[in-house]
Amino acid sequence: MDYTELFYKLGAIQKGHFIRSSGRHTDIYVQCARLFENPSTGAMVAKGLAENFVGEPIDIVMSAAIGGMLIGYEVARALDKPFIYCERQDGAMVIKRGFKIPENANVLLIEDEITTGTSVREMMEILRALGASCVAVACIIDKSNEKLNFGVPKFSLAKVEVQNWRSSDCPMCKE
């Protein structure tokens, strides 16, 4: 299946002229939440990611709140594995709500989209501190332009090259 084409069709990936919250201008906008407006579409997307991990030694699926929660839960459901999430508290990623990760657990990290990899690295650090292992990282849409290496396999359903500029350098503003 061509997931990239589907994601454009569903509005999860849009081309145009957008201003990010940072003030930088970009030609691509990604909103993975659009894939979960229809539960059957969300389940299909999750199954597409989960297929990469059937039979792998995974004990827990973990995501970061908020963006990764829907896809993380659906991947965990497809794999019939426990799901937990971490969230930001005082600027740091933490595990709360009574979630526990046993020592030596094999954890699959799931995100909706990956751009800089900051959340993934923070989750990996949590796992290391707890004596658990990240076995792989997966996301719906990879916007990293292939710049990231987490030291474990990385999977995505779509890769999108996103460019961004300061407003003074934006070629779309100059048109």
48 in helix, strand or coil?
Answer: helix
**Chain segment 120-136, per-residue pLDDT in tens:** 999 999 999 999 999 99
Structure tokens that stand for 79 in this block: 């794999």
Percent of the chain with pLDDT over 90: 83
**Whether domain 3-170 has CATH 3.10.310.70:** no
Q: Which pLDDT belongs to residue 164?
A: 85
Residue 160, pLDDT above cutoff 80 = yes
Q: pTM of this prediction?
A: 0.91
Contact between 108 and 136 (Cβ < 8 Å): yes
Q: Where in the chain are the domains?
A: 3-170
Exposure class string for 112-146: b at 16+ Cβ within 10 A, else e: bbbbebebbeebbebbeebebbbbbbbbbbbbbee
Could you report the per-residue pLDDT of 36-64, keeping only the tens digit for each? Answer: 999 999 999 999 999 999 999 999 999 99
